[in-house]
Amino acid sequence: MFICKAVDGTCKKLTSLDSLGNGGGGVTPPGPTPGGGPVTIKFPVGINGRNEALDVLNIQVALIQVGPANGGQTPDFAIDGICGPKTKAAIQKFQLQHFGWKGCDGLIEPGKQTLAKLNELLGHGGGGGIPILGTGPGGAAKQALLPATPAAPPTELQKGIALALKWILAAQTNVISAIPYVNSKDTPGPFQVFGREFRMRQLNNHFLIDKTPAKMANTRFVLKTFDRMRQVFERPGGLWGEAAFEKDPLNDNTVFAYTWWGGFFKGGQHRVEKQHKIRLDSIFLSPPFNPLIEERKAFTIIHELAHFVGHPEFIDDHAYNFQGQMKKINNLPPHLKLLNAESYSNFAYEVANGKPAPIF
């Protein structure tokens, strides 16, 4: 089923695009800067490590950034802050390539050789480093140094897509930082920034995690949803987002964007609509999307991505911000907040900007 963000702000569910109108228009997209400083961890990560969520997150990101040619991972490697079997195996794979069996203990410690090698490859230990994921045009972690060519300035569309990704990464980091506190008790004290209420504030504002019976499972559902969004931007075979966000071949003027519900799991599949081959694993941006302000572009993209990646429970439209000046969305029960696309846009906006989202 297609789910289309109409110009009136609502989403239509269509089994076919035949009922959409037509018009003219045009469209095109880079990525984030992965962070300026070296990779740091507070405690050991890996086999027999302490495996604090933020430390694990930093290592998972670094393994993606160095890329498989340097013993790292492909962009679809999960960033979830959990040091499970796949992350431990990824650490061992990296160590084996660089240090042989003697240095392959599956543990990354602060100040030791594995962390130093990651930073060296990323250009934080002298020697310049390799081109890393998301730097400049071409986010597919190219491992060969290419001749320097002047980069074209980003288009307005590219800015909107890059901003959406920035918000998604901020949302993902926020959820990971809250995970250690989900099942703990509130700890009032003078340093609120370290307390549970502060860490859980946005999750409770938008998903009412503390009012659900399965607090940890639902928190991980939110994290998984944002992690899948991040993976959409990192598809191999093109620039950041280029393989996932496409110009609407129908040039429809009645919608901002549309995608196939759960299209994240429809790789390579397509349908023929109005004599055009429509990929089910893409998000299509229609002409009315182009003149939107940058923030509204990013907000719309995250909304559509929520529909695109939701699985096995589909993320639907149970309420929008403009309905009763936020009253309807604020009054949703917890289980519907978790399955409401606008909730994900609102959460990402607030985490990234430090204030509630406008009523777009």
pLDDT (tens digit, 0 to 9) for every residue of the chain, 360 residues total? 899 998 888 998 888 888 776 543 333 222 233 344 688 899 999 999 999 888 898 898 889 888 888 899 887 788 888 899 999 999 999 999 999 988 899 999 998 999 999 989 888 764 444 433 333 333 333 333 344 455 567 677 778 888 998 999 899 989 988 888 898 876 665 545 567 888 899 999 999 999 999 999 999 999 999 999 988 877 654 444 456 888 899 999 999 999 999 998 888 898 998 888 898 988 999 999 989 999 999 999 999 999 999 977 899 999 999 999 999 999 999 999 999 999 999 999 999 999 999 998
Instruction: For strands 245-247 and 107-108, give the pairing.
Output: unpaired
Taking the CA atoms of residue 236, residue 237, residue 240 and residue 244 in that order, the dihedral angle to the nearest 10 degrees is -90
In the block, residue with structure tokens 């399965």? 214
Return the exposure string of 208-226: e unless at least 16 CB atoms fall within 10 Å of the residue's CB, then b. Answer: bbeebeebeebbbbbbbbb
Please name every residue paired with 107 in a beta bridge, in sequence order, or none if there are none: 46
- Amino acid 349: pLDDT: 97
- What's this model's pTM, rounded to 2 decimal places? 0.69
- Amino acid 225: pLDDT: 95
In 3D space, the residue among 135, 98, 145, 139 whose CA is nearest the CA of residue 118 turns out to be 98
- Amino acid 134: pLDDT: 38
DSSP state of 263: G
- Amino acid 74: pLDDT: 82
- Amino acid 243: pLDDT: 63
- Amino acid 171: pLDDT: 94
